A and B are shown apart, each in its own frame.
Chain A
């Protein structure tokens, strides 16, 4: 089983988002970076499948030179190698992103059996890169999956619905996008981190197509306008809390 997992580097925004002066990006000077929890779970799932069935788990990112950090983080929990499609850090639209991933998949020496994505990227939330890659490669795609199991050359996927779970079964090779909750990703160990430093990362310069979903600017949504009324300090606040609960009719 050769599995490819696509992940995107995004800032960890904390309690408040601050935009850059040109309003085209988040001010990241004081922020750390990560990937979406959906994608982290995708990497964990790939590692588990490889542990059970053999093969290799490759993590791929399209992003700035610093995005190698996210590839190393995922190699530290067990991914075998990385593919880094290096950009200047500006945003690529989903069509350009998908095209670059498709080109990278096609250039692999060994065929890929399963390509995992997050259900949506944390920052852009375009809900489409996985489906576009599948369409271009002529592969079946299942999205928003909460459980995966392999049966010979087929993959069984469970998706949550309002009524319960829908179960899909598709033949490999296939594209699957997953959601957080499919597993609980492991933490990197110190030896894992050491090993990750020596694992191979193949860097390539992808070709960029013209953006057709072209970001103009970002904006913060209007403030909630909420003004917190302090009901008290410590346990002495309990009567005031209960009075409030009564006033709003939930008691």
Chain B
């Protein structure tokens, strides 16, 4: 029986675990491998890709699967480029056949695509949360291959700068209070910050806000910003464009505050307040203070 090779970035990470689970659907023996980057080439992506290319050939792999993380996608793209084979990024399901078909996400998750993949071995990455994660039963660690070219080694990390941790991060926050164009100005965000602070949450925003220079891009939620998964996402003055929703649909609940009852944000919301955020948000903050004082 042929082998489906799975590149494991980090065995403790759900994305890697999900890749192993998805490879199970291919019907071949799943071989989960981590690559030992010994040799001091911190994340030399082409070296990892070359290692996978050789491993796939040596084992006659029917498929090479990687997690749909930025890194997983990059490494598999490099494998695909080296082998001149097609690669399907961020798949949610796969059906083996002649040809194999996949369903993959587009537009940051706002759209699905069904596609045929013509070429073997099959190269694919698994989209986040497409399948449930499970601990990896058997993980093999292989060394990086010795036969890499100078070009393979050209890209490596020369320095790592740790983040100075400040407050609750957008990705981990239980509450995200997010402002859109309706906030009106950079100063307008003081009421958004106040509510976020009262709830121990983080401040987010839409792209209209970062484009206007009211908030830094690190606050942006959406397809080209951060993906958040709080207990509740409070969207103030945000219209609900698909590219924004791509970043907050992981929220357990969504409260939208907007005077336009027709705004599409309400279609994706659990709770709605129809009104002007400049009145509603301070009133909520005042009510929280009142509740806590009594």
- Name A's B-contacting residues (CB within 8 A): 13-17, 26, 36-38, 93-95, 119-120, 122-128, 131-132, 134-136, 138-144, 158, 161, 163-171, 179-181, 184, 210-221, 224, 226-239, 241-242, 244-246, 248-251
Q: Contact at A127–B118, with CB atoms within 8 Å?
A: no
A228→B232 CA distance, assembly (Å): 14
CB–CB A242/B287 < 8 A: yes
In the bound complex, what is the Cα–Cα distance between A132 and B123 (angstroms)?
14
How many Å lie between the Cα of A109 and that of B150 in the bound state? 27
* Contacting residues, chain B, for A38 (C-beta < 8 A): 224
The answer to the question of B141 belonging to the interface, with a C-beta cut-off of 8 Å to chain A, is no
- Within the complex, which residue of A167, A218, A239, A249 is in contact with B106, where a contact is CB–CB below 8 Å? A218
Q: Is the CB of A232 within 8 A of B107?
A: no
**A221 and B110 contact, Cβ closer than 8 Å, known pairs A128-B80, A140-B151, A169-B158:** yes
Known: A180-B225, A219-B112, A234-B279. A168 touches B158 (CB 8 A): yes
Cβ–Cβ contact B270 & A128, under 8 A? no
Instruction: State whether A144 and B276 are in contact (beta carbons under 8 Å apart), knowing that A125-B108, A135-B81, A166-B43 are contacts in the complex.
Output: no
In the complex, B181 has a CB within 8 A of chain A:
no
CB distance from B41 to the nearest CB of A (A): 11
Partner-A contacts on B (CB < 8 A) = 42-43, 45, 70, 73-74, 77-78, 80-82, 84-90, 99, 101, 103, 105-119, 125, 151, 154-163, 174-175, 199, 201, 207, 210-211, 213, 216-218, 220, 223-225, 231-232, 239-243, 249, 252-256, 263-276, 279-280, 282-284, 286-288, 291
Which residue from chain A places its CB closest to the CB of B291 in the assembled complex? A242
Q: Is the CB of B154 within 8 A of A171?
A: yes
CA gap between A37 and B160 in the complex, in Å? 26
Partner of B157, one of A14, A123, A168: A168
Partner of B116, one of A135, A167, A216: A216
**B155 with A141: CB separation less than 8 A:** yes
Of the residues A127, A158, A228, A233, contact of B77 by C-beta under 8 Å? A127
Docked-complex contact A248 and B273, CB < 8 angstroms: no
A245 touches B161 (CB 8 A): no
The 3 closest A-B pairs by CB, nearest first: A15-B264, A181-B217, A235-B283
Do the beta carbons of A233 and B107 come within 8 Å of each other? no
CA distance A234 to B70 in the complex (A): 42
Q: Kindly provide the distance from the CB of A186 to the nearest chain B CB, expressed in whole angstroms.
A: 11
Q: How far is the CA of A7 from the CA of B218 in the complex (A)?
A: 23
- A230 and B272: CB pair below 8 A? yes
Q: Enumerate chain A residues within 8 angstroms of B241, measured Cβ to Cβ.
A: 13-15
Distance between Cα atoms of A169 and B223 in the complex (Å): 28
